Structure 1
Amino acid sequence: MTEKLTCGVHHVGLTVPDLDQARAFFCDVLGFDLVGGKPDDPSIFVSDGTILLTLWRAADPMTARAFDRRANIGLHHLSLAVANDDVLDKAWNMVSTHPEVTIDVPPEPMRPGSATRHFLVFIPGGIRLELATPFTKA
Structure 2
Amino acid sequence: MSVTTGVHHIGLAVSNLEESAEFFTKLLGWEEVKRREDYPAIFVKDDALMITLWKTQADEPTKFDRKMNVGLHHLALRVKSKEVLFQILDVLKANNIEIEFEPTFIREGPSMHMMCYDPSGIRIEFHYSE
TM class by shorter chain equals over 0.9
- Name the structure 2 match of 1:119: 114
Q: TM-score, normalised by structure 1?
A: 0.89
State the number of aligned residues.
Answer: 130
Note the alpha carbon deviations across 1:85-127, whole angstroms, 9 max, x for none: 111111111113322x21111100122x121101001121111
- Name the structure 2 match of 1:109: 105
Letter in 2 for 1:109: F
- Name the structure 1 match of 2:126: 131
Kindly state the Cα deviation for residue 58 of structure 1 after the two structures are TM-superposed.
0.4
Query: Percent of aligned pairs with the same residue?
Result: 35
Higher mean alpha-carbon deviation, 89-98 vs 21-30, is at 89-98
- Name the structure 1 match of 2:9: 11
SS at match of 1:64: coil
Partners of 1:93 and 1:20 in 2: how far apart? 22
SS at match of 1:56: strand
User: Is 1:70 matched with 2:72?
Assistant: no
Note the alpha carbon deviations across 1:37-69, whole angstroms, 9 max, x for none: 211010010001210000000012x22100111
Letter in 1 for 2:81: N
Could you tell me which runs of 5 or more consecutive residues in structure 1 were left unpaired when the two chains were aligned: none
Higher mean alpha-carbon deviation, 18-27 vs 41-50, is at 18-27
- Name the structure 2 match of 1:20: 18
Q: TM-score, normalised by structure 2?
A: 0.94
Partners of 2:121 and 2:2 in 1: how far apart? 34
